[in-house]
Amino acid sequence: MFQIVQIRWGILIYTNNFRGGYMFKKIFLVSLFTLLLLSSCSYMDKRAEPTIVARVEQTISSFTQVPSNTPYNTQTAYPTLTPPPTYTPRIVIVTPTNTSTPLYTATITETPTKTATLTSTPNPTKTDKRPGFYLVGSEIAPGVWRSLGESDSCYWEITSATGSIISNHFGMAGGTMYVPSSGFQVMLDSECGNWTYLGN
């Protein structure tokens, strides 16, 4: 006599009440274990399904989009080559002319030009000086000068840029005067006559 037993998962299993159903019990236990295992796998699949979907979406979002292809630049056509113009050679006929050779060739002798003799230009600071005032270096050269006068009241003086007297003389004319390069101005009196430069 058979009994219907209802399992929690909605599966009906038939069993018997008679004794000695060893084979049937064995089949029953194997079937029960199989049903439990399948139910457990189905439950795990339902739990893992959201996690798998989330991982697939995360993997898809992590992919980098493929860049769009940039079109190639348009090629510029090569310029057409213009053939060079053709040239027609020009033929010139040269006719030789006979030139008579002169019997005598005149020889021209050039007259030598005279070379001018160089004369030294006198230094204006060393030329003879008349009575007056002279600036040392630009108008009268430093050095020794001699008076050409014959008076006994000859006066000359040499002063600095500040007007201080460096050297002077009053007395007989005909003597010498030394003008230093540090002097600024020389005063020559008319009683001394002209002055001539003797040198350094």
pLDDT the model gives residue 3: 39
pLDDT digits (tens, 9 = 90+) for 90-114: 787 877 777 777 666 667 777 777 7
The pair of structure tokens assigned to 128 is 């003879």
DSSP 22-62: HHHHHHHHHHHHHHHHHHHHHHHHHHHHHHHHHHHHHHHHH
pLDDT the model gives residue 22: 66
pLDDT digits (tens, 9 = 90+) for 127-158: 999 999 999 999 999 999 999 999 999 999 99
Question: What integer is the mean pLDDT of 65-81?
Answer: 69
pLDDT the model gives residue 6: 39
Question: What integer is the mean pLDDT of 30-41?
Answer: 77
Work out the burial of residue 188: count CB atoms within 10 Å of its CB; fewer than 13 is exposed, 13-18 middle, 19 or more buried: buried
Rounded CA separation 137/120 (Å): 20
Phi, psi of 146 (to 5 degrees): -120, 140
Q: Is a pLDDT exceeding 70 seen at residue 178?
A: yes
pLDDT the model gives residue 64: 58
Q: Count of alpha carbons within 13 Å of 172, Cβ hemisphere only?
A: 3
pLDDT the model gives residue 72: 65
pLDDT the model gives residue 188: 96
Q: Give the list of residues 6+ apart from residue 58 with CB closer than 8 angstroms, or none.
A: none
Higher pLDDT, 164 or 82: 164
Domain boundaries along the sequence of the chain? 2-61, 125-199
In three-state form (DSSP H/G/I as H, E/B as E, the rest C), the secondary structure along 103-141 is: CCCCCCCCCCCCCCCCCCCCCHHHCCECCEEEEECCCEC
Q: Could you tell me the pLDDT band of residue 5, with boundaries at 50, 70 and 90?
A: very low
β-pair partners for 132: 188
The pair of structure tokens assigned to 16 is 């018997």
Does the pTM surpass 0.75? The reply is no
Mean pLDDT for the chain overall: 78
